[in-house]
Amino acid sequence: MRSRAIAALFTALVTAYAWLLLRAESQGAIAALILVGIAAGILAMRTQLLRPVARSLGSNERFAQGLAFAAVVVIALALRDDDFALLLLTRVLIVIVACLGLNVQFGYAGVVNFAGASFFGVGGYTAAVLASSARLPHLLVLLAGGVTAALAGTVLLLPILRTRGHYAALITIAFALLFRTFLEVNDALGGPQGLKLGEMRIGPLRFNDPISAGPFEGSFYLRYIAVALVLVALAFAVVQRLDRSWVGVALDTVRLDEIAAASFGMDIARWKIAAFTVGNFIIGVAGALSAFMIGFIAPNNYSFAESLIFVSILLLGGIGSAWGLSLATAIVILLPEKFQIIQEYRFLMFAALVVLTLLFRPVGLVPRPLRRLVGPPLS
């Protein structure tokens, strides 16, 4: 009981902080909030203050997930008419989904993928083309975005299986560049000027109309948040079930020692293909939803630099850690935005912060915990 109370208290504090940060407008307030955040982080690291919190979250996982879900709902409702803050929140959720997909490849199976944004783009372009031409329900369009991304990934399967380490990384980088050029010269896909998407619809629901039900009035982004939140929950469930099951153990083995895995009779190629395809599917679905929400896609959105941002989110959060990447996504999306006040210098500040974090906490913000299949929680 006490353990749950700690988890709930911690979530409430984080929620309040996130709400303040999303709302903060003035330079002084933002600076103060960011400093408070950094100070709290350092303090927690130094004093082991977070130990009981981590233990309580770890031993009440279902409860903790429920809390996180509720926290997002509360923040979304508290900000219900602030379009911009809601847009940011939706973007954070969508990128979390994409990074969960990347995590299956990178974190579990050890398949490097520096073309995350490209698969995100495949999903987006699929959504744009299908939404304008076919009369497919838009929820299916999201799925189709994932399927197309997974199919596009099959192009890379052979070279990825044949190469290792830096070489495999290079192949995905080459794919990212190729994808961008392909979009730019392809006039059917809008070329460099991009494509416009209509609003998302599910049944009679039109996503871009403002919400008003009785006394409740809210931004149209609330609908996108709802869909994004469901996607996050689904992706989380899939990824964690993968991790907990024998599949996760197998993927870990493949990542840690291919030779050992092969000598135990494991089919390495099969596991790598599975992880790569599942990951791309998840990334593609996220990309499709993102395209609907922004309403406009162009090759500029899916540059190699974006892929690097996805990878840096994984590194910052702690490779393989679903909670870690969620926290890192929030930081990576919100910080540059809040740094708008320092205009052209903001990416400098942002990059410095990332470097410092990696320097002083190379394992990531929330390192991946050891997998425990049986027994009481590790303390």
Q: Exposure of 94 by Cβ count < 10 A (0-12 exposed, 13-18 middle, 19+ buried)?
A: buried
Residues 237-296 that bind other proteins (CB under 8 A): 290, 294-296
**At residue 4, what is the residue type?**
R
Question: From the list 36, 38, 45, 202, which residue makes contact with other proteins (rule: CB under 8 A)?
Answer: 36
Q: Measure the CA–CA gap between 2 and 350, rounded to whole angstroms.
A: 38
Binding of residue 223 to other proteins (CB under 8 A): no
Q: Measure the CA–CA gap between 107 and 102, rounded to whole angstroms.
A: 8
CB of 301 to other proteins, least distance (A): 5
Question: From the list 101, 110, 123, 194, which residue makes contact with other proteins (rule: CB under 8 A)?
Answer: 194
Closest CA to 305 of 143, 155, 171, 116: 116
| C-alpha distances out from residue 349 to 34, 286, 321, 339, Å | 12, 28, 25, 8
Binding of residue 191 to other proteins (CB under 8 A): yes
Instruction: CB nearer to other proteins: give 161 or 294.
Output: 294
DSSP letters spanning 242-290: HHHSHHHHHHHHHHH-HHHHHHTT--HHHHHHHHHHHHHHHHHHHHHHH
Classified as helix, coil or strand, 319 is coil
Binding of residue 301 to other proteins (CB under 8 A): yes
Instruction: CB nearer to other proteins: give 184 or 258.
Output: 184
Q: Applying CB under 8 A, which part among 49-57, 181-189, 262-270, 313-321 lies near other proteins?
A: 181-189
Instruction: CB nearer to other proteins: give 26 or 47.
Output: 26
Question: From the list 28, 215, 265, 375, which residue makes contact with other proteins (rule: CB under 8 A)?
Answer: 28
Vertex 345: Cα angle to 343 and 346 (nearest 5): 75
Q: Taking the chain, what is the end-to-end CA distance rounded to the nearest angstrom?
A: 17
Binding of residue 44 to other proteins (CB under 8 A): no
Instruction: CB nearer to other proteins: give 48 or 343.
Output: 343
* Residues 6+ away with beta carbon under 8 Å from 49: 43
* Residues 6+ away with beta carbon under 8 Å from 362: none
Q: How distant is the alpha carbon of residue 206 from its chain centre?
A: 25
Binding of residue 47 to other proteins (CB under 8 A): no
Question: From the list 3, 6, 8, 40, which residue makes contact with other proteins (rule: CB under 8 A)?
Answer: 40
Question: From the list 6, 29, 249, 358, which residue makes contact with other proteins (rule: CB under 8 A)?
Answer: 29
Residues 116-145 that bind other proteins (CB under 8 A): none
CA atoms in the 13 A half-sphere facing the CB of 333: 22
Question: From the list 41, 58, 82, 269, which residue makes contact with other proteins (rule: CB under 8 A)?
Answer: 82
The residue behind tokens 């990347």 is: 102
Residues 304-343 that bind other proteins (CB under 8 A): 337, 340, 343
Given a contact cutoff of 8 angstroms between Cβ atoms, the answer to whether 168 and 138 are in contact is no
CB of 379 to other proteins, least distance (A): 28
Residues of this chain that bind other proteins (CB under 8 A):
13, 16-17, 20, 23-29, 32-33, 36, 39-40, 82-84, 87-88, 91, 181, 184-185, 191-194, 196, 208, 219, 290, 294-298, 300-301, 303, 337, 340, 343-344, 346-347
